[in-house]
Amino acid sequence: MGDQVPSTRIRVVLIDDHQIVSEALGAVLDSTGDIEVVARVSHPDNIVSEIVEHEPDVAICDMEMPGGDPLDRISEALPQSPNTRVIVLTAFPTDMHITRSVQIGLNGFLTKNEPIEAVVDGIRAVHAGHVIYSDEVRERMAPDNHGATHSELKVLTLTPRELSVVRLVALGMTTTQIAESIHRSPKTIDNQISSALTKTRSSNRVELSRWAIREGLVRP
């Protein structure tokens, strides 16, 4: 006798605006025998309705989609589909993205650098009740000597004012220009930049600007 197809498959919704990625991943998942793609979503506006309609076991969600914030939509959908588990699958694993995913209580975070087998195994693991992260994400989340995670050190400890100043630094503004634009003294701005340098482990303003761009605080 041949292999038996499981009576109950893991039902998956794919959320990604790149058609090639969605179709390729969907074809692989449907060929596994124990996973079934029940819907594909290419626009954030459709996330809530598709998850509520299909009540999938697992949703695979990209982080960067035109037209809205997919994680905001996921947060709105989950109370209406409480048994759905969510794995982020993104090409941009920034500290801020990871932090938001952890705060929302999502079940996994994988990068698009992973082999497709890792995504398949991740779906099975999350469905079984585990939380999964790619090695790249685990490195970012690894605790330092004080027990804090990198995402906490680099994002959560920055005050709203420091975040605003960092954005302006990354846009190439001088201390004087920043002070004038937000009506603070140059000394205050220097102090905030110094604090941000320490918290982000940046050696200078150039490194701080690169960090801000990499973490999505500003667009290059």
pLDDT in tens, 16-58: 999 999 999 999 999 999 999 999 999 999 999 999 999 999 9
Residue 89, CA distances (Å) to 18, 142, 171, 190 in order: 12, 19, 29, 38
Task: Output DSSP code: residue 77.
Answer: H
Write the secondary structure of 163-209 as one string of H (helix), E (strand) and C (coil): HHHHHHHHCCCCHHHHHHHHCCCHHHHHHHHHHHHHHHCCCCHHHHH
pLDDT in tens, 106-120: 999 999 988 888 899
* Domains of the chain listed by start with CATH number: 10-141 (3.40.50.2300), 158-214 (1.10.10.10)
Q: Is residue 161 very low, low, confident or very high in pLDDT (cuts 50, 70, 90)? A: confident
pLDDT in tens, 88-141: 999 888 877 888 888 888 999 999 988 888 899 999 999 988 888 888 887 776
Percent of the chain at pLDDT > 70 equals 87
Question: Looking up tokens 């905030």, which residue turns up?
Answer: 192
pLDDT in tens, 180-218: 988 889 999 999 999 999 888 889 999 999 888 877 777
> What pLDDT was estimated at residue 143?
54
pLDDT of residue 155 exceeding 70 = no
53-67, 93-107, 148-162, range with greatest mean pLDDT: 53-67
Residue 218 CA to residue 166 CA, distance in Å, equals 9
Question: pTM, whole model, 2 decimals?
Answer: 0.68
